[in-house]
C-alpha cells in the first residue's frame, strides 16, 4: 500500500511504501488520530523498516493507494 503525504509550504510530497499486508483501516485510524491534534507527529514505517515522522500541523493531505494502482511514469508509458 502506498501513502503519499503533501506537506504545506513545499511542492514536494512524501511517499511511503507500506508493507503489502498493512491493515488499511488501522492505518486510516492512526492517520486520523495524528491529524486530529496539530501538536502530534504522524509516524509511518515503510516496508523496509524506515520510519518517517511528519508534524501533523504541516500535513496538507494524505493519499492512500493500493500497491496494484496503475502508475505509469516516463516516456513510452501506454495504456
Which DSSP string do the residues of 15-60 spell out, in sequence order? Answer: EEE--TT--HHHHHHHHHHHHT-TTSEEEEE-TTS-EEEEEGGGEE
**Sequence-separated (6 or more) residues with CB below 8 Å from residue 15:** 2, 3, 4, 5
Second CATH level (architecture) for the domain 2-65: Roll (2.30)
**Residues forming beta bridges with residue 35, ordered by sequence position:** none
pTM score: 0.76
2-7 and 13-17 beta bridge pairing: antiparallel
Domain range summary for the chain, segments of one domain joined by +: 2-65
Mean pLDDT per 10-residue segment, the chain (79 residues): 92 91 92 93 94 94 75 49
Amino acid at each position: 500500500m502506498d501513502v503519499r503525504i503533501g506537506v504545506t509550504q513545499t511542492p514536494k510530497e512524501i511517499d511511503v511504501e507500506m508493507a503489502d499486508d498493512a491493515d488499511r483501516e488501522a492505518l486510516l485510524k492512526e492517520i486520523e488520530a495524528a491529524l486530529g491534534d496539530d501538536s502530534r507527529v504522524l509516524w509511518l514505517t515503510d516496508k523496509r523498516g524506515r520510519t518517517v515522522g511528519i508534524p501533523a500541523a504541516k500535513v496538507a493531505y494524505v493519499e492512500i493507494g493500493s500497491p496494484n494502482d496503475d502508475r505509469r511514469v516516463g516516456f513510452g508509458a501506454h495504456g
